[in-house]
Amino acid sequence: MTTRAARREFTLTPTNVLMALAGAVPLALAAGFAWFVAIAERPAAAPDHADGIVVLTGGGDRVETGLHLLASGRADRLLVSGVARGSDLASLARLAGIDPVPLAARVTLGHAASSTRGNAVESAVWARQNDVHSLIVVTGFYHMPRAMAELSGTLPDVALYRMPVVPPILRNDHMASLRRLAVEYLKYLAMEAGLFRLLPPDPGQRPIGAMP
């Protein structure tokens, strides 16, 4: 092959660039998704005791896990963030099979958050109010990467520890888990791109206090 022919072969044209990008973008997304799955499926990494626990509602067994951790002495206090209005500790504890009376003074139910970003804001307010410097984070395994990223932004001086939960509905359904992970990966990319910051804050976002 002559030098002139080689130069023609490797000349960049708009069409060649578009074709290269069309091939590279799916590969980058696939590699990113593989990384995301590996992060999401990391096992729990929580100390024997932390200042607090935060449960981000929205999936099965999350609240139950947080209440059991509190009852077993893994933390001093618990925030359940994003609780539906009308829910109370007694009903949540009943689902977990736990007596709510000994825990009532150490549990806060946050009703202001309706998104992961709102959870992070609500958690930061609660952590400052209660002098929390280490926090066990309880949420679905597929939600954990985005939750940790959002919480790290609002709680930069608080040590965060993962306590991922696998919802019962996903425990024996690999394809359903992958679909849930794929949806959450797209949300993670949107968060990293700053798209969620364009949305208005959660309605009713306000400082919270301990349960009476």
pTM: 0.84
- Cα separation of 34 and 21, whole Å? 20
CB count within 10 Å of CB 87 equals 14
Domain boundaries, the chain: 3-39, 44-198
The per-residue pLDDT of the chain, averaged, comes to: 87
Q: 149-161 pLDDT, tens per residue?
A: 999 999 999 999 9
Q: Which of 146, 176, 170 is nearest to 61 (CA)?
A: 170
CA gap 78, 70 in Å, rounded: 7
| Residues counted in the chain | 212
Task: Render pLDDT for 68-120 as a digit per residue (tens, 0 to 9).
Answer: 999 999 999 999 999 988 889 999 999 899 999 999 999 999 998 999 999 99
CATH number for the domain whose boundaries are 44-198: 3.40.50.620
